[in-house]
């Protein structure tokens, strides 16, 4: 059970990505964000950033917090979302493998100790961040519907989350 906590327990939990404020991040010494895209910022079937995403990204930029998207999605999917807003990104990241996290850190010129990963999946986002030595924040998916590749992961995640809940390890923030 120690391995479950080591690899799958996020540093923190928020119901929605946009509740993560610059003040919260700065209090923790965070100056860079690696974030997932699909079902973290927008639904996996939503091609464009909505006003809420754009407001949050602007708020981070205005507070000198760098943001990079690291996604297992295709170049077209991630690029079409990121390019219009000049967001750094890595596509086909093969999360939870560590190379994409290291690349994102290098691209942003950020240290592990000052970077957090934000994502909606334990088996990709949190596991990858924890293995890479980064803080991790789990958010609830913005949509109930997932892509076909995520369905099996969600079943496994529910088992792990029930364990964390029984142990009192989950404290969702609004």
Structural domains present in the chain: 2-166 (3.40.50.1000)
pLDDT in tens, 85-100: 999 999 999 999 999 9
What parts of the chain have a pLDDT lower than 70? 147-148, 174
What's the pTM?
0.93
Helix (H/G/I), strand (E/B), else coil: 72: coil
Average pLDDT taken over every residue of the chain: 93
pLDDT of residue 148: 66
- Sorted by sequence, the CB contacts under 8 Å of residue 91 that are 6+ apart come out as 71, 73, 74, 75, 77, 78, 79
For residues 13 and 170, the answer to whether their CB atoms sit within 8 Å is: yes
> What are phi and psi for residue 29, nearest 5 degrees?
75, 20
pLDDT of residue 174: 65
pLDDT of residue 68: 98
For residues 71 and 87, the answer to whether their CB atoms sit within 8 Å is: no
């Amino acid at each position: 059970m120690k391995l479950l906590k080591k690899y799958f327990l996020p540093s923190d939990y928020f119901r929605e990505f946009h509740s993560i404020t610059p003040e919260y991040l700065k209090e923790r010494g965070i100056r860079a964000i690696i974030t997932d895209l699909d079902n973290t910022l927008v639904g996996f079937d939503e091609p464009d950033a909505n006003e809420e995403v754009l407001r949050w990204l602007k708020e981070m930029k205005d507070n000198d917090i760098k943001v990079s998207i690291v996604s297992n999605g295709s170049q077209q999917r991630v690029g079409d979302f990121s390019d219009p807003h000049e967001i750094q990104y890595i596509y086909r990241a093969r999360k939870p493998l560590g190379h994409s996290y290291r690349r994102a850190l290098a691209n942003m010129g950020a240290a592990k100790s000052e970077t957090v990963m934000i994502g909606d999946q334990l088996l990709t986002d949190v596991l990858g961040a924890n293995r890479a030595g980064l803080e991790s924040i789990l958010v609830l998916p913005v949509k109930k519907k997932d892509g076909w590749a995520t369905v099996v992961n969600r079943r496994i995640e529910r088992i792990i989350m029930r364990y964390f809940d029984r142990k009192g390890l989950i404290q969702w923030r609004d």
